[in-house]
C-alpha cells in the first residue's frame, strides 16, 4: 500500500504540513497539491515535517523545491523549512545538495520557532 497522508495545521502563523508515508512518483503530486493549497491560502511561512517519511524520490524533491521557489517569489519574507527528516531522507537531501538550499531543523518546534 502506497498511501501518503498530509495533515496541515497552523501554529503561530506558520503552516505546518506533517507528511506520513512514501513520497515517490505516484504520490509526489499529492504533496505538491498540499503545499500549493497552503500557499494559495495565503501562507508564506511553511514547515514540512518529514519525520514519518521513510522515502522521498526526485519527484518529491521537485515538488518541495517548486513550493520553495513559489513561496519566495510571492512574498519576499516567505520560506519553506524542513523539520526532522529521517536519516534516509536527510541523506537524499544532502546527495541532491538541497541541504544547502533548505533550512533543516531537528524538530517541528525548532522549525516553527525559527520564523519568529
Name the pLDDT band for 75 (thresholds 50, 70, 90): low
Asked if 6 and 20 touch (Cβ cutoff 8 Å), the reply is: yes
Please write the tens of the pLDDT for every residue from 7-60.
999 998 999 999 999 999 999 999 999 999 999 999 999 999 999 999 999 999
What's this model's pTM, rounded to 2 decimal places? 0.94
CATH architecture of the region 5-113: 2-Layer Sandwich (3.30)
Beta bridge partner(s), residue 109 = none
Going from N- to C-terminal start, the domains of the chain cover 5-113
Amino acid at each position: 500500500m502506497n498511501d501518503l497522508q498530509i495533515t496541515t495545521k497552523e501554529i503561530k502563523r506558520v503552516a505546518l504540513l506533517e507528511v506520513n508515508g512514501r513520497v515517490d512518483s505516484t504520490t509526489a503530486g499529492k504533496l505538491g497539491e498540499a503545499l500549493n493549497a497552503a500557499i494559495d491560502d495565503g501562507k508564506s511561512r511553511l514547515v514540512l515535517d518529514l519525520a514519518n517519511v521513510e522515502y522521498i524520490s526526485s519527484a518529491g524533491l521537485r515538488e518541495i523545491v517548486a513550493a520553495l521557489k513559489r513561496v519566495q517569489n510571492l512574498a519576499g519574507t516567505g520560506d519553506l523549512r524542513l523539520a526532522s527528516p529521517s536519516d534516509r531522507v536527510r541523506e537524499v537531501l544532502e546527495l541532491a545538495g538541497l541541504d544547502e538550499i533548505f533550512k533543516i531543523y531537528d524538530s517541528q518546534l525548532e522549525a516553527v520557532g525559527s520564523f519568529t
